[in-house]
Amino acid sequence: MPGVDASCCDTRFMLGQGWQSQWERVGRRLEDVRRVYAGAPGGTDVAIDKVLSFFETVHALRDWLWNDPASGVTKDNVHTLIDSSPVLQVCADVANGSKHFELTSSQTGDLSTTIARNDVAVFVGKGTSAHRFYIASSGTERDLLKVAEEAVAEWRRFLSRRHLI
């Protein structure tokens, strides 16, 4: 591209950013989910967009970690973590169902893992609504925000044990 010195950056990485940028993005998407629960403008479609974006982002952290040599994290490290974490397995299923229209393979073993229902409180005159979503998987229904917070805590423990944060 004219006027751009590509030698300034390692162009192998998305936007020249390392895994840390994806970890920060996870935090921002979690805050989006918290705002959906607290009450935000935009209605149910916007709320669904925000919660699905969280799951896609938190699941993609694995790719950013194993693709960034600076992390020292391998695919095996990440697979071991996810295989031992029911909450990250649920996140993987919701993310993959969202990205691919339907879930054709499952980390949880339940191809019907989904966001099953939504409660909403509309704040008349304020133009906002608070949503609460529930994930159904393996015969259990769980509050989506709790799943999201547990997933971030699981990743935080993993990254801390590896002295990455």
The pLDDT tens digits for 57-116 are 999 999 999 999 999 999 999 999 999 999 999 999 999 998 888 888 889 988 999 999
Position 7 in a domain:
no
Number of domains in the chain: 1
Spatial contact of 39 and 60, defined as CB atoms under 8 Å apart: no
Q: CA–CA separation, 18 vs 64, rounded Å?
A: 7
Question: Starting from the edge strand earliest in sequence, which strands make up the sheet with 114-123, in order?
Answer: 114-123, 128-137, 140-143
- Find the domain containing 133 and state its range: 17-161
The pLDDT assigned to 25 comes to 97
Q: Which residues of 33-46 are buried (b: 16+ CB within 10 A; e: fewer)?
A: bebbbeebebeeee
Q: CA–CA separation, 112 vs 108, rounded Å?
A: 10
Check whether 7 has a pLDDT greater than 60.
Answer: no
Q: CA–CA separation, 14 vs 158, rounded Å?
A: 23
Check whether 35 has a pLDDT greater than 70.
Answer: yes
Q: How far is CA 144 from CA 3, 57, 86, in A?
A: 47, 15, 14
Position 150 in a domain:
yes
The pLDDT assigned to 15 comes to 62
Q: How far is CA 90 from CA 11, 58, 95, 162, in A?
A: 33, 11, 9, 23
For the chain, give the mean pLDDT. Answer: 91
Position 1 in a domain:
no
Beta-bridged to residue 131, according to DSSP, are 120
Position 98 in a domain:
yes
Position 87 in a domain:
yes
